[in-house]
Structure 1
Amino acid sequence: MTATNPVLTGGCQCGAVRFALSAVPSKISICHCRMCQKASGAPFASFADIPNEHFAWTRGKPAAFRSSSIAERDFCAACGTPLSFRRIGGPKIEIMTGAFDRPDRVIPTLQYGTESRLGWVGTIVNLPSKTTLQMYGPEKLGEIVNHQHPDHD
């Protein structure tokens, strides 16, 4: 795959590792299994599946952790951002949807590992909420220096 005219792009928090897709993901899902909870440090992980031929690392190369006898999980060695799940020797890579520059364009359509789904996950939409501005206020928010790579190259 060449990085010219990518369909979707993304990368890690520090910008050391970037990727591009030349086609739309074949499936977008959420996994609640305990391994995905631990790998993402979150109540669930969300992945966009893409055939290997439509995926390329465009800057840097991720480190990998063999999380089981059949799979590896890629992450940025510099900042620790989880980036993907892939079966060893498999035909596709599953990219963490939060790593995309436009995560709003990768909408999950199914769930896996629901035996480990935390009971409160379905009710979070009803929790009280605040925007970042409401949480910090304009003065404090204006003082924060963001060291995160922007959502583009």
Structure 2
Amino acid sequence: MTGMTGGCLCGAVRYRLTEAPFNSGLCHCETCRRTSSAPSLPYIGVMRSAFAITQGAPVAYASSARIVRSFCGACGSPLTYDNLDKPETIDVMTVSLDKPEAFPPTEHVWVSEKLTWEVLADGLPAYATGEREGA
């Protein structure tokens, strides 16, 4: 699916994807939880060349070493996760898409940091870290 669009809650920042994502997951790391104020944060991975801001300018925040996240400066909506060690890709927050139902999660990552009361009962693969064990 191409031509997907998305943006923040208030509409100040908009973006467009020109290629389908190469993965889709739910991250349970502490930083993602704090970023979203939720038990997990859904994301899609896309090629950087397929992602473009079409309106406004998100605010960048270095949330940890080599990781830069972007947000809307007006409403605070989290938009992207950028691992500087992987310059060819960028993660986009799934629920910032205009049609987030198009890309349901296919895996859980960082379950080693998952909240103890969050139960994973969807049968999706679950990885202790962000790396797929044995891959």
Give TM-score, length-normalised by structure 2. Answer: 0.83
Write the letter of the residue equivalent to 1:51. Answer: M
Structure holding more helix per residue? 1
CA displacement, residues 57-111 of structure 1 (integer Å, 9 cap, x when unaligned): 0101100100111110000001111111001262111011110000101111011
Query: How big is the alpha-carbon RMSD for the aligned residues of Structure 1 and Structure 2?
Result: 1.9
Say whether 1:79 aligns with 2:99: no
How far did residue 123 of structure 1 move? 7.0
Q: Which structure would you say has the larger Rg?
A: 1
Give TM-score, length-normalised by structure 1. Answer: 0.74
Say whether 1:99 aligns with 2:96: yes
2:5 aligned partner? 9
Counterpart among 116, 119, 123 of residue 113 in structure 2: 116
1:18 aligned partner? 14
How far did residue 120 of structure 1 move? 2.9
Once residues 123 and 63 of structure 1 are traced to their aligned partners in structure 2, the CA distance between those partners, rounded to angstroms, is 32
The alignment of Structure 1 onto Structure 2 pairs a total of residues equal to 121
Indicate how the Cα distance of structure 1 residues 14 and 34 shifts in structure 2: closer, same or farther if over 3 A, else same.
Answer: same
Q: 1:4-153 counterparts in 2 under 5 A?
A: 6-88=2-84, 90-122=87-119
Once residues 123 and 57 of structure 1 are traced to their aligned partners in structure 2, the CA distance between those partners, rounded to angstroms, is 33
CA displacement, residues 13-69 of structure 1 (integer Å, 9 cap, x when unaligned): 010000010010010011101111111111011111110111100101100100111
